[in-house]
Amino acid sequence: MNILLIYPEFPDTFWSFNHAVSFIGKKAAFPPLGLLTVAALLPEKWSKKLVDTNVERLSDTDLLWADMVFMGGMTVQRESACRIIDRCKALPVPIVCGGPLFTAEPEQFGTADHLVLDEAELTLPLFLSDLEKGQAKKIYRAGEFSDLSETPVPLWHLLKVNRYAALSIQFSRGCPFNCDFCNVTALFGHKPRLKTPGQIIGELDRIYDMGWRSSIFFVDDNFIGNKRFLKDHLLPALIQWRKEKKGCVFFTECSINLADDPDLLSLMVKAGFDSVFIGIESPDETALSECHKIQNKNRDLLESVAIIHRSGLQVMGGFIVGFDSDPPSIFQRQIDFIQNSGIVMAMVGMLQAPPGTRLFDRLQRQSRVVRPFTGDNVDGTTNILPRMGMEALSKGYQRIMKQIYSPANYYRRVRTQLRALTPPEVFQPLDFQRFLSFFRASLRLGILGKERFCYWQLILWTLLRKPRLISVAVTLSIYGYHYRKICERYIYIRSKDGQ
């Protein structure tokens, strides 16, 4: 069979980095790791082709070549996914859909020929067996979680790797915590399931052998879910790998209790990690109790962030406003916390209720889920009726975004972070595209940009005070350009319209 794997388009969002990747000559931030893994689960004799609509156009010729289309995606890709389903039905080409978007709301995609849901390692073999018999069913579900030690190496050769800013790898699925608004545990469970160090090194070798010498994103929802295994097995293996393989740097997502373990911090830095995304959510203890974010309670969150910065890891932070317990003062408290913490990449969103979460179930019983979940944390909308009222939440949210992404405040946070940040032990090599990115940044930000004074002030300050972090300063400046573009598209325009 000829199999076409299609990745739907991401809208222009906080995490798309659409306005940043052009500085380094790339088309998209991350590749479709899930689809590449699905491709490895398909029969080896089948012909396979990947079209990522974020980096190339999907043509009718592509669709007509295929005997069957496989598509996966996340909620934020819903609009593009629906268009692709419609195109397949019009030709017609059978389409098989899976991934978080379809697993969370399968009833919304009745026009897809087959829904292979949950984890593909379990449900895809069942579908393929029935397909061979001519008895393929509409929906396939799994009643358990897969063993990641049996997950194959993604088929990287299907990918045009030079079009991406970073590549991706997965070490674990699942999270030991139970945050009220998060659907990770509904999808993957509470007990972290792990790949072996041998699997990870094998995948890294495959990536390295393709010539990749840049960022690699460990996409785990909580990389430190099993700290003992990390310290005893995976991180020592990564440190050993780095002795022979130069150039690649890692980043990932984890919980704030990383700050409580200096040995783990040290090992992650030695292994080549340079940044982590952490869900801070709120500086308010009552809000943290409300959403069961127990790992963030009873601690000095500012000091925890500072500890991680001093270790050499940049902290990217997630923040939420709109909890039932949020007082009117929460908006200024969020602004103050973000500015004082030096968290440059601060993803602030209104509280949303993803289907499958305890929050969704509770608010649905209260008739407070009023529109579909978009999956976009920072588009200035929510799918629930907030207790404080929509007008108060919207105005407060717009106020936060205007404050933290104004050039003066943004560049002030960059300096705060750089003051605390220990220079990394591993630097990315200065290739031609990164060399050009400095000149592109100098032109777009330092000459044509509204923030040119702030930009040059930061560059001069960094050269004098933290010269080893000059590439970090330029990179964060480029990110700031992207975030302001997102604010202009979603936040500032609503403020002008009075929404």
For Cα atoms 212, 217, 219, give the angle at the middle one, nearest 5 degrees. 140
Q: Give, in order, the Cα–Cα distances in Å from 417 to each of 135, 301, 465.
A: 58, 15, 13
The answer to whether 369 touches 336, Cβ cutoff 8 Å, is no
Which one, of 285, 286, 279, lies nearest residue 377 by Cα? 279
| The predicted structure's pLDDT at residue 377 | 85
The pLDDT of 119-131, averaged and rounded, is 98
Q: pLDDT tens for residues 203-251?
A: 999 999 999 999 999 999 999 999 999 999 999 999 999 999 988 999 9
Q: pLDDT (tens digit, 9 = 90+) per residue, 455-494?
A: 999 999 999 999 999 999 999 999 999 999 999 888 766 6
pLDDT, mean of residues 285-305: 97
Provide the pLDDT for residue 493: 63
Can the peptide bond before residue 92 be classed as cis, meaning omega within 30 degrees of 0? Answer: yes
Picking from 36-40, 382-386, 445-449, 486-490, which range would have the lowest pLDDT averaged per residue? Answer: 486-490
State the first-to-last Cα distance of the chain, in angstroms, to the nearest integer.
51
Q: What is the pLDDT of residues 168-214, one digit of tens each?
A: 999 999 999 999 999 998 899 999 999 999 999 999 999 999 999 99
Grouping H, G, I as helix, E, B as strand and the rest as coil, residue 428 is: coil
The answer to whether residues 174 and 226 touch, using CB atoms and an 8 Å cutoff, is no
Burial of 266: CB neighbours in 10 Å, binned 0-12, 13-18, 19+: middle
- On whether the CB atoms of residues 25 and 433 are closer than 8 A, the answer is yes
Q: Which amino acid appears at position 313 of this protein?
A: L
Mean pLDDT of 371-386: 93
If phi > 0 it is left, if psi is from -120 to 50 it is alpha, else beta; for residue 47 that is beta
pLDDT reading at 297 higher than 90: yes
Candidates 132, 104, 193; CA nearest to 1 is: 132
Coil, helix or strand at residue 62: helix
| Mean local confidence (pLDDT), 50-79 | 97
Give the number of other Cβ atoms within 10 Å of residue 175's Cβ: 24
- For residue 498, what pLDDT is reported? 57
> Using a CB cutoff of 8 Å and minimum separation of 24, what contacts does 431-440 make?
431/213, 431/214, 433/24, 433/25, 433/26, 434/24, 434/471, 436/24, 436/25, 437/23, 437/24, 437/474, 437/478, 438/474, 440/22, 440/23
Residue 499's pLDDT band, with cuts at 50, 70 and 90, is low
The identity of residue 361, as a single letter, is D
Instruction: Check if the beta carbon of residue 10 is closer than 8 Å to that of residue 76.
Output: yes
Q: What is the residue type of 226?
A: N
Q: What is the pLDDT of residue 427?
A: 62
CA pair distance 373, 384, nearest whole angstrom: 9
Please tell me the pTM assigned to this model.
0.95
Q: Tell whether the model's pLDDT for residue 426 goes beyond 80.
A: no
Strand pairing category for 273-281 and 249-254: parallel
DSSP character string of 292-337:
T-GGGSSS-HHHHHHHHHHHTPEEEEEEEE--TT--TTHHHHHHHH
* Distances 116 to 70, 71, 207 between C-alpha atoms, Å: 10, 10, 28
Greater confidence, 66 or 432?
66
Rounded percentage of the chain residues whose pLDDT exceeds 90: 91
Label residue 373 by pLDDT band (50, 70, 90).
very high
Q: What is the mean pLDDT of residues 343-359?
A: 96
**Quick one: what percent of the chain has pLDDT higher than 70?**
97
- Please provide the average confidence, as pLDDT, over all residues in the chain: 95
Split at pLDDT 50, 70, 90, the class of 425 is low
pLDDT over threshold 90, residue 284:
yes
pLDDT tier for residue 428 given thresholds of 50, 70 and 90:
low
